[in-house]
Amino acid sequence: MSATVIDGKAVAAEVRGRVRAEVEGLSPRLGRPPGLATVLVGDDPASAIYVRRKREACEEAGIRSIHHEPAAEIPEQELLELVAELNEADEVDGILVQLPLPEGIGSEKVVAAISPNKDVDGLTPTSAGLLARGEPGLVPCTPRGVMELLRSADVDPAGKEAVIVGRSNLVGRPLFSLLLGAHATVTVCHSRTRDLAEVCRRAEILVAAAGRPRLIGAEMIRPGATVIDVGTNRTDEGLVGDVDFEPAREVAGAITPVPGGVGPMTIAMLLANTVQAARGVLELRPA
C-alpha cells in the first residue's frame, strides 16, 4: 500500500493562519505589531531570496519586518554592534542573521551575540543548551517544523524508535532533543555510522537530514514507518531529498515529499518563534 503523503504546504499554511490570529491578539497588548529584524550581509543571491521570502511571510502574518543589509565588507565589530542595538530595540522581538556570513566574519561569534530572548533561529549556545536540558526556550525552525509535521500526521513519538540521519547543530542535534523530549527512543546517525541501513530499518520515525541525494533507499525503511525528509539537494534533475521518494512511498506508512514537505515549514516556524518571543516580552512586563 502506498504511504500517506504529508502535505507540508498545507500544514505550513495552517501554522501561518494560527500565527496571524495570534498576532492580531498580541499587537494591541504590545501596543505595536511583533517585529522581526533580518540582517543580510553582502549580496549572496540565494541568501537574498531566503530573506525576501521570510520578510514577505512576516508582512502577510502582520509581523513588522525590520531589515538591515550591511555590505559584505562590514567589519565584524560593526556587525556585533548592530546585533547589540537590535538586542536593545523595543520594537524588535526576533533577530535573524542570515547565514552563511561572508568570509572573515565569525558566524559563531555573531550568532552568540544575539540575545537568547530574541534568538528566533534558536542557534545561540544558550538556546541550544536550554533545548539539550529540556528547558523552555526558542527552538531552531526546521526541527520545530519536523515536530509539527509529525503532530499533523497524528504520529506521537512517545515510546517509538526514532532514527535521525545527520547530527548538525541546525537540524540533527536539536531534533534529537525534541524527539527525546517527546519520549521517543532516539538514535542519531552520521557519516561514521557503521551500518546505516540496519539502523534506519529499526526506525518507526525516520528523519533524513544528511544532504545526500537519495541516500535512503526503500530497503532502509521499516514497513509502515513515518519518513520525514529534510534534505534539499539541487541536482541535474532538480530539487531532490535524501530519500528515494517513489520506492520509499511503497514501504513507508507516511512520508514527506521534496519539495513541499519540510521546506515550507521552516518559514512558518520562524513566524511562530517570533510570536513566541513577542509573548515573552509581555510575560516580562510588570503587571
- Our answer to whether residue 121 is catalytic in this structure is yes
State which residue, 74 or 206, has the beta carbon closest to ligand NAP: 206
Q: Name the residue among 7, 36, 40 with its Cα closest to residue 23.
A: 36
Q: How far is the CB of 77 from ligand NAP (least distance, A)?
A: 27
Tell me 54's DSSP state. Answer: H
Q: Could you confirm whether 98 is annotated as catalytic?
A: yes
- Give the span between the Cα atoms of 287 and 281, in whole angstroms: 12
Spatial distance between the Cα atoms of 165 and 66, rounded to a whole number of angstroms: 36
Place of cell 552563511: 100
When asked if residue 109 is in the footprint of ligand NAP (CB under 6 A), the reply is no
Shortest Å, Cβ 95 to ligand NAP: 19
Nearer to ligand NAP, 84 or 197 (CB): 197
When asked if residue 191 is in the footprint of ligand NAP (CB under 6 A), the reply is: yes
Q: Which contacts of 45-53 are long-range, i.e. CB under 8 A and separated by 24 or more positions?
A: 47/98, 47/99, 47/100, 50/98, 51/98, 53/267
Is residue 233 involved in binding ligand NAP (CB under 6 A)?
Answer: yes
Q: Which of 121, 229, 242, 244 is catalytic?
A: 121
Q: How far from the centroid of its chain's Cα atoms is residue 104's Cα?
A: 26
Q: Indicate whether 2 belongs to the interface with ligand NAP (CB under 6 A).
A: no
Strand partners, 80: none
Q: Do the bridges between strand 161-165 and strand 94-97 make them parallel or antiparallel, or are there none, so unpaired?
A: unpaired
Q: How near is the Cβ of 169 to ligand NAP at its closest, in Å?
A: 8
Beta bridge partners of residue 255, listed in sequence order: 5, 227
**Residue 244 known to be catalytic:** no
Residue 263 makes contact with ligand NAP by CB under 6 A? yes
Contacts to ligand NAP from residues 163-182, by CB under 6 A: 165-168, 170-172
Active-site amino acid positions: 54, 98, 121
Q: Which residues bind ligand NAP (CB under 6 A)?
A: 142, 165-168, 170-172, 189-193, 196, 209-212, 215, 230-233, 262-263, 266
